[in-house]
Amino acid sequence: MSDSLFDVRGVTFSYDGVPALGGIDLSILRGERVALLGANGSGKSTFLRLLDGLDFAQSGTIDFDGRTLTPGQLDDSSFAHDFRRRVGLVFQNPDVQLFNATVFDELAFGPLQIGWSSDEIRTRIDAVMESLDIARLAARPPHRLSMGEKKRVAIASVLVIHPEVLLLDEPTAALDPRSQSEIINLLSGWSGGTRTAVTATHDLSIVEDIADRCVVFESGRVAAVGTPREIVQNEELLHRTGLLHAHRHRHESGVVHSHPHLHRHGDHHH
């Protein structure tokens, strides 16, 4: 059994002839928390869809636990069942993920597909609702919830089946600070664990909390790989890849100068 769970070799992908990924080589290890960083349009979301077997590499290969992800493999019901049980994707927009009448039904949907007993399902749902603070929403229709509540329900609907790998696309975007910190706490709690988490984000302030390793995407290619600290301190890289913009400050002396601006998680809790 190798240490790497995903092996990505020379992967390219285009949408209608427009290149989205241009030759990605990357291994993701078991139990590793990886942050995919990059400006919008850099290929992060496309890459997550390929890891989740929703789209397939046009050239190159993606292996999951030693088996290549292909349309044929995912048509094989035993492989597909195992893969869907082990790998879960939380989309950036929760509305594409939520379609049941109530939050409880939403959380029961995945476990029912896998064939769990109703007692087992109820126990798991209760535990997940507790951990994400959504128990009070159980009977509510998902489409009537706030953005933060929808995001937490979408995450819960994936977590409920206990996936080994969690793929998250901008999980903290468009959230209030409290919902953001709940999700950051959840991801930071997985360090050194058995779960593998791959999180696409352009929020530099959270990467030290949620990741062991960062991969910076630029125009569909890997521009850099390093620890969160190495990446966050590399201002030239962050400017070049559109992750940092200089903020201008006027000092009382009247001097205006600009410098890279990075909000670290924890700076702004009053």
**Residue 221 covered by a domain:** yes
pLDDT in tens, the chain (270 residues): 568 999 999 999 999 888 999 999 999 999 999 999 998 889 999 999 999 999 999 999 999 999 999 999 999 989 998 998 999 999 999 999 999 999 999 999 999 988 899 999 999 999 999 988 899 999 999 999 998 899 999 999 999 998 999 999 999 887 888 888 888 888 887 766 778 999 999 889 899 999 999 999 999 999 999 999 999 999 999 999 988 865 444 555 555 544 455 544 444 443
Confidence at residue 250, expressed as pLDDT on a 0 to 100 scale: 53
**Residue 164 covered by a domain:** yes
| Cβ atoms of 210 and 184 closer than 8 Å | yes
**Residue 21 covered by a domain:** no
Total domain count for the chain? Answer: 1
**Residue 102 covered by a domain:** yes
Confidence at residue 264, expressed as pLDDT on a 0 to 100 scale: 46
Its pTM stands at 0.86
Domain that holds residue 141: 31-41+77-260
What's 136's domain CATH number?
A: 3.40.50.300
Q: How many CB atoms within 10 Å of residue 164?
A: 15
Confidence at residue 266, expressed as pLDDT on a 0 to 100 scale: 44
What radius of gyration do the chain's Cα atoms show? 20
**Residue 111 covered by a domain:** yes
Distance CA 174, CA 195 (A): 25
3 state SS of 92? coil
Kindly give the residue spans of alpha helices, DSSP state H, lying in the chain: 44-51, 71-75, 77-86, 103-114, 118-131, 147-159, 177-188, 207-210, 228-232, 235-240
**Residue 224 covered by a domain:** yes
**Residue 7 covered by a domain:** no
**Residue 51 covered by a domain:** no
